[in-house]
Amino acid sequence: MQDFWAVTIRVVPAFLLAFGGGVISSLFAVSHERLCRMISLAAGTLSGVTLFTIIPETYETLPLWQLAASLVSGYAVFYLISRYVFHVCPACAASHFDDATTHRFGEIAAAMVIALGVHSTMDGLALALGKEAGMSAGLDSSMLMAICIHKVPEGLALCALLLAAGFRKGIALIWVAVVEATTLLGGAIGLWVIPQVSGLWLDALLAHVGGGFIFLAFHAVFGELVRHGKKQVLFYFFIGMVLIAVLTLLVHGH
């Protein structure tokens, strides 16, 4: 029961932040410039949590080849889904959602739900893994911060896409809630997985999640660099990484 509540207080806020982003998008017009800043900041936090916490944490227990394989597998899963199904993150690929995409939304709706569902499920699983007793407090707190920051522009972009495709606000928000609810599913899967596997496999799974984060961060930054000013994108990306680095140092200092 303690594990249940520990995971719940992590995945529920992440879900609510994504849904809150959708609500904001339904009420106010959010310029792509502002969304770009949030996307870049979120990409920086995802990179930071991978570089400063996930890799150091898993390097202590995993052989280098297994750590590398886990990172590559996480990157590859998201790459293949984005390449052959649909973009796994509406925020990370916001620049790709042009008028042609929204006009043919009916053709891609099922693919979008599958892709975003996999992404959000992975977010929930990452939050569950972060609270695992064998993991450090620095990993737990940085993981929570990175995913929660990432969830806001994700909800904003998803709702904006749905509205641009012609959905009414209420229906668009229902879609956002349904898709983002898979974050809760990921937390539930984590609750089941953690007691079933050894610490070594948990570390491999965590590194796999980190590989997915690297894909999301790279995809987001590259997409925004193409469309927007490099200084703005890199500045907010750097701020995101610094936030995670400082948080990790503060937690480890205590």
Q: Where are the domains of the chain?
A: 2-24+36-253
pLDDT for residue 105 = 58
63: its two tokens: 């052989």
- Contact (CB, 8 A) for 228 and 37: no
d(CA 58, CA 52) in angstroms, rounded, equals 11
pLDDT for residue 131 = 77
- Contact (CB, 8 A) for 245 and 48: yes
149: its two tokens: 């920051």
d(CA 206, CA 196) in angstroms, rounded, equals 15
Q: How many residues does the chain have?
A: 254
Q: At what angle do helices 199-227 and 64-84 cross, to 10 degrees?
A: 50
Q: What is the pLDDT along the chain (254 residues), one digit of tens a residue?
A: 667 888 899 999 999 999 999 999 999 877 777 888 888 899 999 999 999 999 999 998 899 999 999 999 999 999 999 888 877 876 665 555 555 455 555 556 677 778 889 999 999 999 998 877 566 777 888 999 999 999 999 999 888 878 877 789 999 999 999 999 999 999 999 888 888 887 788 899 999 999 999 999 988 887 666 666 678 888 999 999 999 999 988 886 55
- Contact (CB, 8 A) for 209 and 122: yes
pLDDT for residue 30 = 75
pLDDT for residue 28 = 87
pLDDT for residue 138 = 76
pLDDT for residue 27 = 92
The answer for residues whose C-beta is within 8 angstroms of residue 26's C-beta and 6 or more apart is 159, 163, 169, 172, 173
d(CA 161, CA 93) in angstroms, rounded, equals 11
- Contact (CB, 8 A) for 126 and 140: no
The answer for residues whose C-beta is within 8 angstroms of residue 34's C-beta and 6 or more apart is none
